[in-house]
């Protein structure tokens, strides 16, 4: 069974693959995960106002274009003293999409005067699964010839605190600044296996896994 992960980030694809392999066990061997980027699919406009809406936008776009089940996630950092920012703007907080160094630098500057006790934050992830239906018969919208049969979206969170300087070389995004509750290491200092057990993405995919298991025979 082929499932397309609606991302152009191969690092995210690898992380999702590891999480699902751990969650699905032997059943993971029956699932082939490929990225939308490797297939040359375009990035849809993410104009939702929540992580859930943006995850569904990405998964729907891939399913409608390809006729294959699609998984997508949308995630970001929520800083309590900043009124839930950066939120859905996390990846482009400093302006350029995906510039982790600039995003981290800007966030640290904005939090410079915030005491350690107030530097609480949460990573939030919405994970969506969209299953396509039949091919459209009216010939409309040739770029997206398939209907949608079903869609599911789940949310996971990981609370923690933000440091005053980055630590660690693993991960991406705000991982070097974020220490999850119950740990002394940042996400960027944790190994992939440990991070995948506790991360916001793992928690969202853990819930979504039940839906995958229920639908695996039908997909």
Is 100 among the catalytic positions?
A: no
Chain-centroid distance of CA 91 in Å reads: 11
Q: How far is CA 66 from each of CA 40, 53, 82, 157, rounded to the nearest angstrom?
A: 11, 20, 39, 30
pLDDT higher than 80, residue 173? yes
pTM for this one? 0.85
- DSSP class of residue 157 equals E
Catalytic residue among 61, 73, 74, 175: 74
Residue 200: which CATH number? 3.90.950.10
pLDDT in tens, 93-131: 999 988 999 999 999 999 999 999 999 999 999 999 999
**Cα gap 43→61, rounded to integer Å:** 9
pLDDT in tens, 35-56: 999 999 999 999 999 999 999 9
- Write down how long the chain is: 219
Q: How many CB atoms lie within 10 A of CB 153?
A: 24
Find the helix or strand (DSSP H, E) in which 140 lies. Answer: none
- Quote the number of domains for the chain: 1
Domain that holds residue 148: 2-215
pLDDT at residue 140 in the model: 60
């Amino acid at each position: 069974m082929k499932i397309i992960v609606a991302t152009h980030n191969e690092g995210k694809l690898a992380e999702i693959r590891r999480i699902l392999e751990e969650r699905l066990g032997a059943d993971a061997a029956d699932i082939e995960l490929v990225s939308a980027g490797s297939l040359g699919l375009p990035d849809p406009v993410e104009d939702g106002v929540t992580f859930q809406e943006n995850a569904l936008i990405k998964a729907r776009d891939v399913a409608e274009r390809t006729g294959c089940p699609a998984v997508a996630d949308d995630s970001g950092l929520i800083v309590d003293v900043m009124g839930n920012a950066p939120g859905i703007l996390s990846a482009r907080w400093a302006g350029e999409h995906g510039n982790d160094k600039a995003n981290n630098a800007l966030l640290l500057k904005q939090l410079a005067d915030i005491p350690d006790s107030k530097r609480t934050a949460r990573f939030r992830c919405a994970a969506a699964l969209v299953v396509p239906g039949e091919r459209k018969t009216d010939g409309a919208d040739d770029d997206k010839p398939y209907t949608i049969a079903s869609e599911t979206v789940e949310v996971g969170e990981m609370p923690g605190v933000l440091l005053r300087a980055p630590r660690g070389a693993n991960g991406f995004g705000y991982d070097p600044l974020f220490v999850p509750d119950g740990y002394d290491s940042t996400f960027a200092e944790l190994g992939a296996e440990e991070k995948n057990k506790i991360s916001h993405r793992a928690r969202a995919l853990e819930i979504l896994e039940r839906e995958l298991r229920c639908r695996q025979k039908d997909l």
